[in-house]
Chains A and B, each alone.
Chain A
Amino acid sequence: MLHRYPRLHHGLNRLGWYFLTFVVAITINFFLPRMGPSSPVDILMSKASSTMDSAAARNKEETYLKEFGLAKLADDGSILRDQEGKPLKASLLSQFFNYLLMSARGDLGSSIIQHPKKVSEIIATAIPWTLALQVPTVMIGWIVGNLLGALAAYKRGVFDRVFYPLSLLISAIPPFCFGIILIYIFGITLRWFPAMGGYDDGLMPTLSWNFVVSASYYYFLPFMSIFLIVLGGQAIGMRSMCIYELGTDYVKYAKQLGIKESKILMYMFRNAMLPQLTGLALALGTMVGGALLTEMIFSYPGIGMAMLTAIQSSDYPVIQGCTLLITVCVLVANFSVDILIGFLDPRIKVQQTSGKGA
């Protein structure tokens, strides 16, 4: 049946794959941190126990154990204990199912350092910054980079000779180094832009005019830092794709027919764009990793910074929440690119309707 709707078939197929990837990712996200020796409850208890008597400590431990889903529960919801009165630890597998259930409800546990603050709260205040910084940057960087790359391949001459080595150099600089260079030149030496943070100290994050102005002023440097790197990398790829396309018969034919340059450029762009999109899907993970480091360098109040703070204070639930969220975002972005490819790639339509792939 589905082979009548090739794009739907393609989409469902990809959805299945991404779901499988998600399952693997969430499993890794659960098990890797548990390879370490200490559980969050032990850390919290060692912080709290000095000031409490044994009954209070016991109560506290019970709430913590329930909160993190670590204990074996009786039917009435109380914690089962062995003969010595020590709470029975739930098996790793049932802890895992607990974790899945809690995550599905959006409950990622609570921070150890800022207890009882929820991880989801910490993430909710950080995620708008990260999304606002990364989504437009990667998208605009991709579009502008590809256009410039195609133009460089088509025009050659002076433009290409300046543009190509420049993009090569930019794309070789590691993202975090590039951020540091921009801060040092424009933030510290020239003082054109603020070097650190997301907005002026005295302001509260609200939708007031002052705040928006201040935030966009702080936005510029981190934006440029990620944008230029994405642009450089994409432009190099597109340039070599287009040089290859220029040698093909259809371009030569179109030129001889006297078709307008801009139209030929459109044809070429469409053909060269598909491999570039696939490349984008594969590179997204690395790109997002680099962008997170950029956030940390600028002390930008997003997920990257939240994760850095958590790592420095060994706040495992927060680290885990951040990594899970980033993975999910990367998967969603990848899935969207894949669906887009399904609409743009004529081969998917042909392959399915000829009955081969159904």
Chain B
Amino acid sequence: MLISLLKNPAFILGMGLFIGTLALAIFPPLFMNLDTINRVGPPFQPPSSQFFLGTDQMGLDMFAILVAGLKSSLYAGFLAGIIATTLGTLIGVYGGYKGGLVDDLLTSATNIFLVIPNLIVLILLSASIKDGRSLTLISVIIGCTTWTWTARAVRAQSASLRSRDHVNLARINGFGTFTIVMKHILPYLLSYVFMVFILQTASGILAEASISMLGLGPYDTVSLGKILYESKKSEALIDGAWWAFVPAMVLITVMVFALYVINTSMESVFNPRLRK
């Protein structure tokens, strides 16, 4: 399975792009002196040999801010992805395995929260938390509002496993719900859950960028969305200062695109119906 995954060109492309962005977030701070607090020159200086990406509206080194922003965005994406996947998987697996009234209730709740736009819930929550809106808190909120997709998809998978022989056998042998779900249902869903996690990470990165673009971003750090918000606010777009927003946009797009590609390539390997 792993070997056929490594032979898949789309998977290699997606992984390469994603590891590239990870490396950009991790390595430059180790080898370079990146200052995100002090001004290094006049505002909106175009890229030069000293500052690869020029300066922003305050005269800060754009490259340093970009690296810090990328790190925050990755952190937000992973944290939101982990929370959303865990919540969604637990709710989905439990409902799908239990069936009956519990399942009906969980499915109804999932469907209700699926229809209410989660950007709206995000806006309401973020706007009400005026002080102390840290990056971690924002990521937790994102994770708690985007689990619905996962729950719905995992429930369908788990319900199809419910009446399998080995699950029935475990039930007859008197194992409890927890043991059966953990030992006899979850292992069958692991590759699926992992693919869901990749998508949830992508949507976490997007959600953080969206909410920061509205000016509801974290107060304690920069993020790619916040860079875009500041550049819009300081009218970098109208002034043609492309280095203030293009790099952040490219990074968001590359990360999301890479994660999508990884997901589809994994699906084509793991899903027997799509395998050639």
A36 touches B213 (CB 8 A): no
A25 to B120, CA, bound (A): 10
Given A33-B128, A35-B128, A330-B117, CB of A319 within 8 Å of CB of B123: yes
A195 touches B120 (CB 8 A): no
Answer whether residue A334 sits at the interface, using C-beta atoms and an 8 A cutoff.
yes
- Residues of B in contact (CB 8 Å), total 40
A285 touches B116 (CB 8 A): yes
B117 touches A286 (CB 8 A): yes
A327 touches B116 (CB 8 A): yes
A180 touches B245 (CB 8 A): yes
A174 to B40, CA, bound (A): 31
Chain A residues whose C-beta falls within 8 Å of the C-beta of B260 in the assembled complex: 172
A308 touches B214 (CB 8 A): yes
By beta carbon, the residue of chain B nearest A289 is B119
A189 to B237, CA, bound (A): 10
B115 touches A326 (CB 8 A): no
A173 touches B128 (CB 8 A): no
Q: Which of A16-24, A110-118, A207-215, A339-347 contacts B (4 or more CB under 8 A)?
A: A16-24
- Residues of A in contact (CB 8 Å), total 53
Given A293-B210, A323-B123, CB of A17 within 8 Å of CB of B111: yes
Given A21-B116, A285-B118, A288-B117, CB of A180 within 8 Å of CB of B237: yes
A297 to B216, CA, bound (A): 15
> Closest approach, in angstroms, between the C-beta of B68 and any C-beta of chain A?
20
Most buried by A among B214, B246, B252: B214
B116 touches A177 (CB 8 A): no
A169 to B206, CA, bound (A): 16
A319 to B121, CA, bound (A): 11
B117 touches A176 (CB 8 A): no
B206 touches A174 (CB 8 A): yes
Chain B residues whose C-beta falls within 8 Å of the C-beta of A292 in the assembled complex: 119
By beta carbon, the residue of chain A nearest B152 is A282
Within 8 Å by CB of B129, from A18, A21, A35, A308, lies A35
B209 touches A36 (CB 8 A): no
Answer whether residue B242 sits at the interface, using C-beta atoms and an 8 A cutoff.
yes
> Closest approach, in angstroms, between the C-beta of A252 and any C-beta of chain B?
19
B115 touches A177 (CB 8 A): no
By beta carbon, the residue of chain A nearest B235 is A196
A53 to B247, CA, bound (A): 55
B117 touches A29 (CB 8 A): no
Within 8 Å by CB of A308, from B116, B118, B209, B215, lies B215
Answer whether residue A256 sits at the interface, using C-beta atoms and an 8 A cutoff.
no
Answer whether residue B164 sits at the interface, using C-beta atoms and an 8 A cutoff.
no
B123 touches A21 (CB 8 A): no
By beta carbon, the residue of chain B nearest A34 is B128
By beta carbon, the residue of chain B nearest A312 is B215
A180 touches B249 (CB 8 A): yes
A327 touches B120 (CB 8 A): yes
Answer whether residue B66 sits at the interface, using C-beta atoms and an 8 A cutoff.
no
Contact residues, A162-209 vs B (CB, 8 A): 169, 172-174, 176-177, 180-181, 183-184, 188-189, 195-196
Contact residues, A225-263 vs B (CB, 8 A): none
> Closest approach, in angstroms, between the C-beta of B84 and any C-beta of chain A?
14
> Closest approach, in angstroms, between the C-beta of B202 and any C-beta of chain A?
9
Chain B residues whose C-beta falls within 8 Å of the C-beta of A323 in the assembled complex: 120, 123-124
A285 touches B237 (CB 8 A): no
Contact residues, B219-237 vs A (CB, 8 A): 228, 232, 237
Within 8 Å by CB of A311, from B111, B115, B215, lies B215
By beta carbon, the residue of chain B nearest A292 is B119
By beta carbon, the residue of chain B nearest A195 is B238
Given A172-B260, A285-B115, A296-B213, CB of A33 within 8 Å of CB of B130: no
A176 to B123, CA, bound (A): 16
Q: Could you mark each residue 308-342 of chain A with 1 if its beta carbon is under 8 Å from any beta carbon of chain B, else 0? A: 10011010100110010011001100100000000
Answer whether residue A74 sits at the interface, using C-beta atoms and an 8 A cutoff.
no
A176 to B213, CA, bound (A): 9
Chain B residues whose C-beta falls within 8 Å of the C-beta of A307 in the assembled complex: 123, 214
B253 touches A320 (CB 8 A): no
> Could you give 28 example pairs across A and B, Cβ below 8 Å?
A18-B115, A24-B113, A35-B129, A36-B128, A36-B129, A172-B260, A174-B206, A176-B209, A177-B253, A180-B245, A180-B249, A184-B237, A188-B238, A195-B237, A196-B238, A285-B114, A285-B115, A285-B116, A285-B118, A285-B119, A293-B213, A297-B232, A311-B123, A311-B127, A323-B123, A326-B117, A327-B120, A334-B115
The 5 closest A-B pairs by CB, nearest first: A289-B119, A285-B117, A36-B128, A172-B257, A32-B124
- Chain A positions within 8 Å of B, measured between CB atoms, are 17-18, 20-21, 24-25, 28-29, 32-38, 169, 172-174, 176-177, 180-181, 183-184, 188-189, 195-196, 282, 285-286, 288-290, 292-293, 296-297, 307-308, 311-312, 314, 316, 319-320, 323, 326-327, 330-331, 334
- Beyond A296-B214, A323-B120, A330-B116, 13 additional contacts (C-beta under 8 Å) are A24-B113, A172-B253, A172-B256, A173-B253, A174-B209, A174-B253, A176-B213, A177-B249, A196-B238, A289-B117, A289-B210, A297-B232, A308-B214
